[in-house]
Amino acid sequence: MIIDKWGFPSPHPQVKLSIITYLSNDLKIKGLLAEPENKNVSEGFLYLRGGIKNVGKVRPSRIVQFALQGFIVFAPFYQGNQGGEGNEDFAGDDRYDAFSAFQLLADHPRVKRVHVFGFSRGGVMALLTALHMPEAASVVTWGGVSDMFLTYEERVDLRKMMKRVIGGTPHKYPERYEYRTPLYELNQLQANVLIIHGVLDHNVSVEHAFRLEKRLKELGKPVDTWYFKEYTHYFPPAINRQIVRDLGRWMKEQ
């Protein structure tokens, strides 16, 4: 699956960074791989970014932050981004970039199991990946989208982009929005779920988290929730670092 791999400057001496070119449905996709120098690290961490195009790009410092918690981390850029082929599809066909990235991590010689993490729009990608890859060790969604109908309803500023990328409105093409909404398929989910969300989030409302939690509980699926009443979509740096440590521990306990 890996077509090319070359070194990328790392902000930390204990983490090696590489830009990876890999195949996803015959498209050449780019992503960032972080490998801790500690050879005892054997947990894989699939990091699924938020945003679209240049909004929410993968940041090397963020990937290193998770690698330092004892994970081999891979973060796909999604198709059409940073030299990758194709066009980003906002949780449509670009979900296969995440599926292939999961397999890439699973095939890593040091990785024994793979956890899935999604931030913002990446929350949908994480849930879709865990549904497609039942061997996922766990799934964490942080400030994550769970319902694409709700995103269209709440984010008036994103409607033009969503109509362009998805091809129309939820009223005209409900099946396209349902395809991008994992809530309808959660009965197939095998992995334990952790939901992290700021109650004051205006980018992705906490209603996304509530709907995900409610549906998982209706289905008798294991779910943990960490709600933070005082925070928005972005948490203060010190709190952010602590949550990264806490969610790393949570993942390893699953």
The residues annotated with a catalytic role in the active site are 120, 233
Question: What span, in angstroms and rounded, lies between the C-alpha atoms of 125 and 96?
Answer: 9
- Closest by alpha carbon to 181, among 208, 216, 218, 143? 208
DSSP codes of every residue in 110-177: T-SEEEEEEETTHHHHHHHHHHH-TT-SEEEEES----HHHHHHH-GGGHHHHHHHHSS-TTT-HHHH
195: tokens are: 């939901």
DSSP category for residue 201: -
211: tokens are: 């709907």
The number of angstroms, rounded, from the C-alpha of 8 to the middle of its chain's C-alpha atoms is: 22
Instruction: Give the 3-state secondary structure of residue 185.
Output: helix
DSSP category for residue 195: E
Count Cβ atoms below 10 Å from residue 16 Cβ, excluding itself: 17
Question: What span, in angstroms and rounded, lies between the C-alpha atoms of 182 and 211?
Answer: 11
Question: What span, in angstroms and rounded, lies between the C-alpha atoms of 49 and 78?
Answer: 9
